[in-house]
Amino acid sequence: MSLDPVDMHSVADPDERAAESALRPTSLAEFEGQPRVSEQLGLVLAAARRRGGVADHVLLSGPPGLGKTTLAMIIAAEMTAPLRISSGPAIQHAGDLAAILSGLTEGEVLFLDEIHRLSRPAEEMLYLAMEDFRVDVVVGKGPGATAIPIEIPRFTLVGATTRAGLLPSPLRDRFGFTGQLEFYDPADLEHIVRRSAVLLGVELEPDAAREIAGRSRGTPRIVNRLLRRVRDFAEVRGSGRLTQAVAAAALELYEVDSIGLDRLDRAVLVAICKRFAGGPVGLSTLAISVGEERETVEEVAEPFLVREGFLMRTPRGRVATPAAWAHLGLTPPGSTAWTPPGGAPDPGLFG
Ligand SMILES: Nc1ncnc2c1ncn2[C@@H]1O[C@H](COP(=O)(O)OP(=O)(O)OP(=O)(O)O)[C@@H](O)[C@H]1O
Ligand SMILES: [Mg+2]
């Protein structure tokens, strides 16, 4: 059994994907956390159901593993509508999109993952489809080319993106509802990990649930994955019981630290502090120095580091905060730790 901690976020492995889908909540009621998005989306869907119509287009944004795909599936389930799944990178040509759109049935939910990676022509076709439920199929080439409009059934587009900022505003504006997913509170993650433990048939002690939840970077995908790794550890090295001590030992083995930073998170902070004297350092340089893609550093590692107050994105580059130095046990350059003379408090300060 081996696990690359840097890979904690990806879902390339089919086993992992299967494990994930087994734990996916299937209704809004089962969907933990995100109270604002959940309530707003619930209203949008309830209203559409009352009208007997088709729900407005929904855009879901936020870091990986927070529940975008899960919500897309829930939207289809709540609307008792069929779901069709594709993604920006999978649609090479506008023609591919035209084929998908014209094959939809009335009320169908079309989930487009990584919608920020659609090609320009596909994106423009989507504008028309979203607004007028029509696609223009271009026949012929050059000056003789003509656009033949084809009506398509009313559908609900659910777009997902880790980078809402990259979406052109004409596209963003065509969504009736945008849900911005936030990192989860430890209490929500605790609920999620307990539910998953029940589904997996493992006995999880309350302290262990808290330990795992507290180290999951605010991310349901990670809480579920850590649960499985802790279960492995408990079965192989322990008695099979998931206690707090077993959880802590397992997470240490997997290089997840006490506040949930994984190897990539720490590598980013160490690079900024040690190699670039705390920054500012540009994203590309930083990515090269940790041996990762720019996108991975920017979309996977940084959002949590920013939210936890370890990293700042400034116009001149990334900067490590004092909290980052402290967490790594390092002293920022030029900061002379002040020790009171003779250990006594300075009367000038307190007198
Ligand atoms: N609110 C939630 N309650 C319970 N489980 C959740 C919740 N959100 C996500 N999960 C779990 O986390 C896993 C990852 O969620 P999901 O695949 O929806 O993330 P995502 O936002 O689509 O990530 P990516 O950007 O990588 O595609 C799911 O398998 C699901 O089991
Ligand atoms: Mg997804």
> How confident is the model over 157-198, as pLDDT tens digits?
999 999 888 899 999 999 999 999 999 999 999 999 999 999
In the prediction, which pLDDT does 336 show? 61
Pocket test for ligand 1, best of 10, 21, 66, 117 (most atoms within 8 A of CB): 66
CATH fold for domain 34-180: Rossmann fold (3.40.50)
In the prediction, which pLDDT does 255 show? 92
**Residue with the nearest Cα to atom 25 of ligand 1?**
64
In sequence order, what are the beta bridge partners of 124? Answer: none
- pLDDT value at 5 more than 60: no
Residues recognised as catalytic? 68-69, 113, 162, 221
> Using a 6 Å cutoff on CB, does residue 196 contact ligand 1?
no
> Using a 6 Å cutoff on CB, does residue 216 contact ligand 1?
no
- Asked if residue 85 lies in contact with residue 205, where contact means CB atoms within 8 angstroms, the answer is no
Q: Which whole number is the average pLDDT over 266-272?
A: 97
Residue ranges covered by each domain of the chain: 34-180, 186-253, 263-328
How far is it, in rounded angstroms, from Cα 91 to Cα 83? 17
- Is 186-253 the same fold as 34-180? no
> Using a 6 Å cutoff on CB, does residue 23 contact ligand 1?
yes
- Render pLDDT for 91-135 as a digit per residue (tens, 0 to 9): 989 999 999 999 999 999 999 999 999 999 999 999 999 999 999
How remote is the CA of residue 325 from the centroid of ligand 1, in Å? 31
The H-or-E segment that residue 40 falls in is helix 35-50
Pick the CATH number of 186-253 from 1.10.10.10, 1.20.58.1000, 3.30.428.10, 1.10.8.60: 1.10.8.60
Pairing of strands 156-161, 109-113: parallel
**Residue with the nearest Cα to atom 27 of ligand 1?**
64
Whose structure tokens read 């905060």? 321
How far is it, in rounded angstroms, from Cα 47 to Cα 38? 14
Torsion from C-alpha of 282, 288, 292, 295, nearest 10 degrees: 30
Mean pLDDT of the chain: 90
Cα atoms in the 13 Å half-sphere on the side-chain side of 50: 6
Q: Which residue has the higher pLDDT, 215 or 53?
A: 215
- Render pLDDT for 28-73 as a digit per residue (tens, 0 to 9): 999 999 999 999 999 999 999 999 889 999 999 999 999 999 999 9
- pLDDT value at 79 more than 90: yes
In the prediction, which pLDDT does 326 show? 96
Q: 149: which 2 tokens?
A: 């409009």
**Residue with the nearest Cα to atom 17 of ligand 1?**
69
How remote is the CA of residue 65 from the centroid of ligand 1, in Å? 5
- pLDDT value at 349 more than 70: no
Pick the CATH number of 263-328 from 1.10.3720.10, 3.40.50.12160, 1.10.10.10, 3.30.420.40: 1.10.10.10
> Using a 6 Å cutoff on CB, does residue 179 contact ligand 1?
no
- Render pLDDT for 132-165 as a digit per residue (tens, 0 to 9): 999 998 888 888 889 889 999 999 999 999 988 8
